Amino acid sequence: MNKRKIVTKLLDWWDRNRRYFPWRELEGKNPWIVLGTAILLWKTRAENVVQVYKKFFLRFPSEKVFLKSSETEVKELIKSTGLYNRKYLMLKKLAFFLNSGSLDSNQLSNFGQYIRNLGRLVLYEEDIVPIDAPVLRFLNRLCGFNVRNIRKLTPEEKQFLKDLVRKLPSNRKKKSLYWALVDFADLVCLPRNPRCEDCPFKTDCNFKREK
């Protein structure tokens, strides 16, 4: 399927159906908030993070404040997002790197592929699409990919994602494509009972044709 057509259809759908979350309205590139939010969102639904997000960054507006907090307090605050023990360790590592001034694009590899790529997209505006399970599901279905592990994308598949970003209109931020992919996968291209009849890609989708 034509990459520009994918981007155009996806953004048209998103303009009408997008979800609004507080971290999406954030201006600027504060790495503590950008990457801290990515950690809170890791392997959970965005709706589970909304209330935690507000409380978390009010209590810990910077990495310096976070490093002075107790482990028990942090875990209790983020517990509802799931995997809170792992997330606490990741937040602590992030706070340490930021406080020491040693976090750069290369250091993002310490946080796993999804969080690293989200940081590269938002903080450094690279031509990249962070891939999580819902986004991968949508691209597998639409494009006929057969990827089961986001760490095993072929060079051709990685290039395909870069090309999608490069097809964005000049007045669109690169992160808008990622948010559109996430919202579409969560609201239309569901893991079970996908809403194929409501899908703007139904005449082009490999999954729809094979059903």
How far is it, in rounded angstroms, from Cα 147 to Cα 53? 31
How far is it, in rounded angstroms, from Cα 45 to Cα 108? 22
CATH number (1.10.340.30, 3.30.70.1230, 1.10.8.100, 1.20.1530.20) of 22-124 reads 1.10.340.30
pTM of the model: 0.87
Class of domain 3-19+127-210: mainly alpha
Percentages helix, strand, coil for the chain, rounded to the nearest 5? 65, 0, 35
- Percent with pLDDT over 70 in the chain: 98
pLDDT tens for each residue of 85-124: 999 999 999 999 999 987 877 788 888 888 888 888 888 8
Q: Is the pLDDT of residue 43 over 80?
A: yes
How far is it, in rounded angstroms, from Cα 71 to Cα 68? 10
How far is it, in rounded angstroms, from Cα 138 to Cα 201? 11
Sign of the four-CA dihedral 198, 200, 203, 205: negative
Domain ranges (residues) in the chain: 3-19+127-210, 22-124
pLDDT tens for each residue of 58-85: 999 999 999 999 999 999 999 999 999 9
Whole-number pLDDT of residue 150: 67
The two structure tokens encoding residue 183: 């919202």
